């Protein structure tokens, strides 16, 4: 049994209003069953026909798209389900972050026929760094912006890693809010959004699996073995650095069982990464550290390096032979390296060197990869 939203092929089984609002659903079990929801207000809806056997599953699928509806009735007014109310908040559309950067002109035109007031735009959001981010409903959000609707309703839901990744991708492309979302034709929407989503999700899932398995493998390294590897890697790294003329060097405070390059502090003018306003900046080494987000430490100073670093040592869970890395999924290093001209050197232990890591469009390759066994030029 499968339950899904009705598509154009099933339009004859629903009213025009139902199709416009995407409130028709199809239960695929033997002969298809067509169910219509009618939303009456910010809390209540009726459904026709009532199917006791599939009722809970049907409501669950419906609420994936309309999580604010919590009370359901039959066409004759009988109460079917009354769920815990969802808190709705009125916000201005421009205050929201987004997880989508393209919308279909065709879909936009359809929604323009019925989106007229605040009550017509109710979308799920998640909170990230004190800002609300739209999880769904971006076309409705765009219509609200175009129509000048100055208040819409939102309700908070938990975001998964994939939703956060889409938001980060939007930010990297400069799409900070609904005003930055581009309206495109059907061909480009299919090519640049729908196909991209499939690829994005596949890459994301592959990266997530690799992160999980690599973290487990890294924790299993014996302390004495890691110390030997680290000493050999540091020697190779110093040899590589000796062949370059530079002044400022970016390094990092190691996480659990990560390569430790802090020995470079006594040889060079070093700087450590700090996350500020969702961007990576660097602070000078001052001899003492303080705790920071992501279970790391940063120099105990408010001073920040304004100029680009000459050389950056880039951490990674995995590296491949072309210099692409698997990081921790936040994108901070890729963001910094994409805007700063610097010599990029990746470090990892030999066992975490692999072939052809999954890549995203924003991934930046390093110029060299250094392990305890060798120095690899990626150029």
Which tens digit of pLDDT belongs to each residue from 275-333?
887 788 999 999 999 988 767 899 999 999 989 999 999 999 999 999 999 988 777 89
49: preceding bond cis by omega (within 30 degrees) = yes
Please say whether the beta carbons of 236 and 372 come within 8 A. yes
Please say whether the beta carbons of 55 and 83 come within 8 A. no
d(C-alpha 342, C-alpha 24), whole Å:
54
Question: Other CB atoms closer than 10 Å to residue 16's CB: what's the count?
Answer: 9
d(C-alpha 28, C-alpha 9), whole Å:
14
Whether residue 64 has pLDDT greater than 90:
no
Confidence of residue 363 (pLDDT cuts 50, 70, 90): confident
Whether residue 370 has pLDDT greater than 90:
yes
Question: Other CB atoms closer than 10 Å to residue 236's CB: what's the count?
Answer: 17
The 10s digit of each residue's pLDDT in 133-154 is: 999 999 999 999 999 999 999 9
321 Cα distance to chain centroid: 26
Q: Tell me the whole-structure pTM to 2 decimals.
A: 0.63
DSSP annotation of 41 reads: S
Give me the pLDDT at residue 242, please: 95
Residue found under tokens 């099933």? 10
Give me the pLDDT at residue 292, please: 82
DSSP annotation of 265 reads: G
Give me the pLDDT at residue 275, please: 87
d(C-alpha 297, C-alpha 288), whole Å:
10
- Minimum mean pLDDT among 124-128, 156-160, 214-218, 358-362: which range? 358-362
What percent of the chain lies above the pLDDT cut of 70?
Answer: 100
Give me the pLDDT at residue 256, please: 80
Stretch 64-77: mean pLDDT, rounded?
A: 92
Confidence of residue 39 (pLDDT cuts 50, 70, 90): very high
Stretch 168-176: mean pLDDT, rounded?
A: 90
Please say whether the beta carbons of 273 and 349 come within 8 A. no
* Higher per-residue confidence, 330 vs 45: 45
d(C-alpha 120, C-alpha 42), whole Å:
9
d(C-alpha 371, C-alpha 265), whole Å:
19
The 10s digit of each residue's pLDDT in 203-258 is: 888 888 999 999 899 999 999 999 999 999 999 999 999 999 999 999 999 988 89
Alpha-carbon dihedral sign for residues 197, 199, 205, 210 = negative
Give me the pLDDT at residue 65, please: 84
Give me the pLDDT at residue 276, please: 83
How confident is the prediction for the chain on average, in pLDDT?
Answer: 91
The 10s digit of each residue's pLDDT in 83-137 is: 988 899 999 999 999 999 999 999 999 888 888 888 889 999 999 878 999 999 9
Compute φ and ψ for 58, nearest 5 degrees: -65, -45
Whether residue 361 has pLDDT greater than 80:
no
Whether residue 168 has pLDDT greater than 90:
no
Please say whether the beta carbons of 97 and 134 come within 8 A. yes
User: Among the residues of the chain, which ranges form H helices?
Assistant: 16-20, 55-65, 105-112, 138-147, 161-172, 186-189, 195-219, 223-242, 332-339
Q: For 233-236, which contacts have Cβ atoms below 8 Å and span 24 or more sequence positions?
A: 233/259, 233/347, 233/349, 233/370, 233/371, 233/372, 234/260, 234/261, 234/263, 234/264, 236/370, 236/371, 236/372, 236/374, 236/375
Please say whether the beta carbons of 120 and 114 come within 8 A. yes
d(C-alpha 156, C-alpha 124), whole Å:
6
Residue found under tokens 């309703």? 153
Q: How far is CA 218 from CA 134, 212, 215, 233, 318, in A?
A: 36, 10, 5, 16, 10
Stretch 363-376: mean pLDDT, rounded?
A: 95
**For every residue of 311-361, which 3-state class applies, written as one string?**
EEEECCCEEECCCCEECCCCCHHHHHHHHCCCEEEEECCHHHEECCCCCCC
d(C-alpha 325, C-alpha 328), whole Å:
10
Q: How far is CA 128 from CA 161, 163, 164, 206, 237, in A?
A: 12, 11, 9, 24, 38
Go through the domains of the chain in sequence order and give each one's CATH number: 2-82 (no CATH), 89-184 (3.90.1530.10), 202-377 (3.40.50.10420)
Cross-strand bridge partners of residue 82: 71
Residue found under tokens 């092929």? 9
Q: Which residues contact 25 (CB under 8 A, 6 or more apart)?
A: 3, 4, 5, 6, 34, 35, 36, 37, 58, 61, 62
């Amino acid at each position: 049994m499968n339950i899904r939203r009705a598509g154009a092929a099933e339009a004859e089984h629903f009213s025009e209003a139902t199709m416009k609002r995407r409130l028709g659903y199809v239960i695929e079990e033997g002969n298809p069953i067509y169910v219509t929801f009618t939303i009456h207000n910010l809390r209540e809806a009726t459904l026709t026909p009532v199917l006791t056997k599939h009722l809970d599953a049907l409501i669950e699928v419906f609420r994936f798209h309309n999580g604010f509806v919590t009370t359901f009735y039959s066409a004759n007014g009988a109460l079917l389900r009354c769920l815990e109310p969802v808190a709705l908040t009125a916000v201005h559309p421009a205050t929201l972050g987004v997880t989508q950067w393209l919308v279909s002109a065709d879909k936009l035109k359809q929604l323009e026929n019925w989106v007229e007031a605040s009550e017509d735009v109710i979308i799920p959001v998640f909170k990230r760094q004190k800002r609300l981010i739209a999880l769904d409903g971006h076309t409705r959000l765009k219509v609200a912006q175009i129509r000048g609707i100055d208040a819409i309703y939102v309700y908070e839901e938990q975001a998964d890693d994939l939703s956060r990744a889409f938001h980060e991708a939007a930010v990297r492309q400069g799409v900070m809010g609904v005003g930055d979302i581009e309206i495109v034709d059907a061909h480009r929407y299919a090519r640049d959004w729908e196909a991209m989503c499939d690829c994005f999700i596949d890459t994301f899932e592959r990266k997530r699996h690799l992160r999980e398995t690599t973290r487990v493998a890294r924790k299993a390294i014996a302390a004495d073995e890691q110390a030997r590897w680290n000493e050999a890697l540091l020697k190779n790294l110093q040899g590589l650095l000796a062949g370059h003329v530079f002044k400022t060097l970016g390094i990092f405070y190691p996480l659990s069982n990560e390569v430790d390059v802090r020995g470079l502090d006594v040889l060079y003018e070093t700087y450590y990464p700090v996350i500020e306003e969702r961007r990576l900046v660097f602070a000078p080494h001052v001899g003492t550290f303080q705790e920071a987000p992501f279970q790391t430490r940063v120099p105990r100073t408010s001073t920040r390096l304004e100029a680009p670093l000459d050389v950056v040592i880039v951490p990674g869970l995995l590296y491949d032979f072309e210099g692409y890395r698997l990081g921790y999924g936040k994108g901070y290093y890729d963001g910094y390296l994409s805007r700063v001209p610097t010599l990029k050197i990746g470090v990892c232990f030999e066992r975490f060197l692999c072939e052809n890591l999954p890549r995203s469009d924003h991934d930046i390759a390093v110029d060299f990869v250094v392990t305890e066994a060798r120095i690899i030029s990626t150029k």
